[in-house]
Amino acid sequence: MQNTIHLVKTRRFLPIFITQFLGAFNDNLFRTAMVMLVIYGIFRSAEQEATFSAIAGGLFILPFFLLSALAGQLADAMDKARIVRAVKTAEILIMVFGAAGLLLHNIPLLLAALCAMGVHSTFFGPIKYAILPQHLEDDEVLGGTGLVEAGTYIGILSGTILGGLLVMQYADGTYHAEWAALAVLVVAVLGRISGHFVPPAPPVDEPDDPEFPRRGVDWHILRASNRLIRATMHIPRVFMAILAISFFWAMGAVLAAQFPPLVKNVFWGDQSVATLFLAIFSVGVAVGSVAINRLLKGEVSARYSPVSALVMGGFVLALFLLSRTWPASTDLLSLRAFLQEPLAWAVLLVLFGVAVAGGMFVVPLYAFLTTTVPKSETARTVAANNIVNSGAMVVATLLLTGLVTVGVSISGTLLLVAAGSLVSAWLGWKLHRVCD
């Protein structure tokens, strides 16, 4: 415990911890405020709202697919602290446009800022995994990683809650997000300040691995992505882990995109109820992450992944059945009115179960990505995972958009996720066979 707690007092850890926390916080603050404003304050059609959520999710994910190879190469080839400062400076500029979109209710501007935040996250993501082994001792890395992940979950949760609360309904029935616009700018500036104090993290000496690309930057995006994926996927456990993670997040993209439209058009909840749904989901994933770590006692193993996937699918199916029996309403329900409905607590419990099981499934898989390859290759391995993940998520959002366009109901898409859990369970079992 001491090895973990004392890290927050050191410059080699605290600045990157705060920077990562503020990044996750601002990312979710802006995304939640944007989605709430558009769905409750601009659109009036369930089909439009579901389509917008899917498009927004796809635009945020697309940079991960296109630029992860470049991000991974830069993170392993350059001083990571310099990249942190450049990325956080860019975040301030992005949030200027994002804040303008929130103030003007301008959907194209909001979507452009969201896509740019995807670029920001693409370049920052590999760094948070690769920088810790350079700044921390070997016996501190696990504890430091745990603190960073805990900070990320807290940032996601608090940003999600605040993003929902700062979208306010005026007396005339209109929705506005002036305070959200101010908040995203302030947090972006604070993130740049904390990033300034991250200590240098120059490139690590490369191991003698002829199958992995030499350090350097290939600016040909498609060629670099292909080389990186092929070099990473030749390791069986990494290959299976990436496949399992990618399919999981493909289902997650469908589920997350549908939360606000599901709340508004199926459960008849206002933006406070939608915020509660997102918050419960974030807490559930965090609980699942802690629970699986306790069960495995620090061991890198996928033995609980198949069961976790099946349990998640069962809870998603239960959520679908509850959505079919939820009573219709003429007006949107406030949080208090929603909680007074007979089935409300059953819905929240099932949603929590989905998130806990999902966290228990996916968290151990990430361990394979950072424990199987040398430290000098960590960022590029994470980048390869991000490429495949994002490709799967983009395909999933396109499929979701197509299904909504041809008339599949919002609640009906939950059946797609429930069925996909069977594939996730099979992939988890295959990984277990390869690694355990």
Domains located in the chain, CATH noted: 2-200+220-435 (1.20.1250.20)
> How far is residue 27's CA from residue 211's CA, in Å, rounded to a whole number?
36
Beta bridge partners of 176: 168
pLDDT (0 to 100) of residue 1: 43
DSSP state at residue 175? E
Q: How far from 34 is each of 56, 99, 181, 318, CA to CA, in Å?
A: 10, 10, 10, 29
For residue 222, count other CB atoms closer than 10 A to its CB: 10
> How far is residue 82's CA from residue 349's CA, in Å, rounded to a whole number?
44
DSSP state at residue 217? -
82 three-class SS: helix
Exposure of 61 by Cβ count < 10 A (0-12 exposed, 13-18 middle, 19+ buried)?
buried
- pLDDT < 70 positions in the chain: 1-5, 129, 138-139, 141-143, 146, 204-220, 233, 298-300, 367-379, 435-436
> How far is residue 259's CA from residue 388's CA, in Å, rounded to a whole number?
24
pLDDT (0 to 100) of residue 142: 61
